[in-house]
Chains A and B, each alone.
Chain A
């Protein structure tokens, strides 16, 4: 079972996404054998989390079982959140929202206890991996996925070190700068049970993201954990 931890639907202002559709994602997931993907709508990451979350739930309803919803929480707007069926958790984007991951404004999210997927970016004032360690120490019971594992290759090993003693933090590996080799290194550094596949599609191409894991130099048992086993463990009954 392949589970994609980090997906999006919708367009984004910074650049052209030729196919931002949910239907396009599902068609490609079918071809690639991806069971399900956790998505947030990019409008929700941007200025309108309420409408973006509505769109994400709508896409999930149109494609039953194929999309879990990462509800976007905008700390400035105090976005309403739910734990209804189909929810995988909460998506935080400290950089877009310009609110540090360790800011108290996020405490209502962590208090819910839902899994959290947060953008992580080495040396960012908003989402440096050190902030994941801070938050994980406050809320060890909350599964916390570090999106992009810090994004920049020079920070991957540091990111793994910073959260080594926080088993609730998983390293999610999507991003345009990561390589199959680095995914293999992260498995060696952090353990296969701490690394989670994500693609960032439709922001990025689903095939490139999956290919980095499928073709990475990994033992097959480790690859299975990265591709879906670890996320299934975190999500538990939410996958049903």
Chain B
């Protein structure tokens, strides 16, 4: 079981564990894709550096990329991203104030797609319209949509129906039988277990995973198989 969406490091607005491994142990989560909180709440470059120092195979590093003109991007140049030995990167267009479908980001993301490097984006950092534009511009780019929530299920479903290279983290798909509804329509192989912990809840999604009304093979896909294929 792999949590596709987890943070490591301190947050400024609460007293939360900086190290996710004790909670992962308690909940039986074997590995997690982690982004360092410094990337979100301080300096993305410093966060990526801290992430690279973790050196624990249970913690799969998901560094943050900030596409930008020379002097504005993180890392400084696109080639550094392409040289990273990582399996997933995260984009935060709202937090880092760049245009997801602007010319610079499209150039960076096209290069990443050509290198078969998928990206993770929190729905709160973008919009369905921007994601559709992105998919139209770079159809080969694989996107993991984090934290889709439940209130925008109709819009998320439309995205799943129209963007074949979109995967969905289910941690906040939190309305009654919402995960099964998505699995029936778009396939469990595009749904990914994740939590957003420790800011978001990990107990509910972990319990939900054990009690999905789906076949064992579908649950296995959601627990880790779909993510492994994505990455």
A208-B204, A208-B207, A215-B203 given; A181·B175 CB < 8 A: no
Q: Is B211 an interface residue (CB 8 A)?
A: yes
Asked if A209 and B151 sit within 8 Å, CB to CB, the answer is: no
Q: Counting CB contacts under 8 A, is A113 at the interface?
A: no
Q: Mark B177-193, 1 if CB is under 8 A from A, else 0.
A: 11111000000000000
Q: Which residue from A153, A181, A204, A214 sits with its C-beta under 8 Å from B174? A: A204
Taking CB atoms, residues of chain A closer than 8 Å to B13 are 154
Q: B206, A211: Cβ atoms under 8 Å?
A: yes
Contact B203 A16 (CB under 8 A): no
B207 touches A204 (CB 8 A): no
Q: Is A19 an interface residue (CB 8 A)?
A: yes
**In the complex, A212→B151 CA distance in Å?**
20
B207 touches A214 (CB 8 A): yes
- Once the chains bind, are A18 and B180 in contact (CB under 8 Å)? yes
18 A-B residue pairs with CB within 8 Å: A17-B175, A18-B175, A24-B177, A25-B176, A153-B14, A177-B200, A178-B201, A179-B203, A180-B204, A181-B16, A204-B174, A205-B173, A208-B174, A208-B205, A209-B204, A211-B207, A212-B203, A212-B207
Q: A177-B200, A211-B204, A215-B204 are in contact. List 15 more A-B contacts (CB 8 A).
A: A15-B152, A16-B153, A17-B176, A19-B176, A181-B198, A204-B150, A204-B174, A205-B204, A206-B176, A208-B204, A208-B207, A211-B207, A213-B203, A214-B207, A215-B26
Decide if A14 is an interface residue (CB 8 Å cutoff). Answer: yes
- Bound: A14/B205 CA distance, A: 22
Q: Which of B199-226 contact A (CB under 8 A)?
A: 200-208, 211
Q: Are B154 and A210 in contact (CB under 8 A)?
A: no
Interface-central residue, A176, A177, A207, by most chain B CB under 10 Å: A207
Instruction: List residues of chain A with CB within 8 A of the CB of B177.
Output: 18-19, 24, 205
Indicate whether A104 reaches chain B with its CB closer than 8 angstroms: no
Contact with B along A128-156 (1 / 0, CB 8 A): 00000000000000000000000001100
Return B215 CB to nearest CB of chain A, in Å: 15
**Interchain CA distance A181-B195 in the complex, whole Å:** 13
B27 in contact (CB, < 8 A): yes
- In the bound complex, residues from chain A placing their C-beta under 8 Å from that of B181 are 18-19
Chain B proximity mask over A167-196: 1 for CB below 8 Å, otherwise 0:
000000000111111000000000000000
Interface residue ranges, B against A (CB under 8 Å): 13-14, 16, 26-27, 149-154, 157, 172-181, 197-198, 200-208, 211
Taken together as a complex, chains A and B put the C-alpha atoms of A202 and B178 apart, in Å, by 10
In the complex the two chains form, what is the Cα distance from A31 to B204 in whole Å?
Answer: 16
Task: Tell me whether B150 and A202 are in contact (CB under 8 A).
Answer: no
Instruction: Let me know if A32 is at the binding interface, CB within 8 A.
Output: yes
Interface assignment of A217: CB less than 8 Å from any CB of chain B: yes
Question: Which of A19, A215, A216 is the most central at the interface, judged by chain B CB atoms within 10 Å of its CB?
Answer: A215
A201 within 8 A of B: yes
Closest-CB distance, A99 to chain B (whole angstroms): 24
Q: A205 is contacted by which of B27, B151, B152, B176 (Cβ under 8 Å)?
A: B176
Most chain A beta-carbon contacts within 10 A, residue among B153, B172, B211:
B211
Measured CB to CB, the closest approach of chain B to A66, in angstroms, equals: 16
Closest beta carbon of chain B to A177's beta carbon, Å:
8
Which 9 A-B residue pairings sit nearest by Cβ, starting from the closest?
A: A211-B207, A180-B203, A208-B204, A18-B181, A215-B203, A202-B176, A179-B201, A19-B177, A211-B204
Q: Does A197 contact B (CB under 8 A)?
A: no
In the complex, are the beta carbons of B203 and A211 less than 8 A apart?
yes
A180 to chain B: closest residue by CB: B203
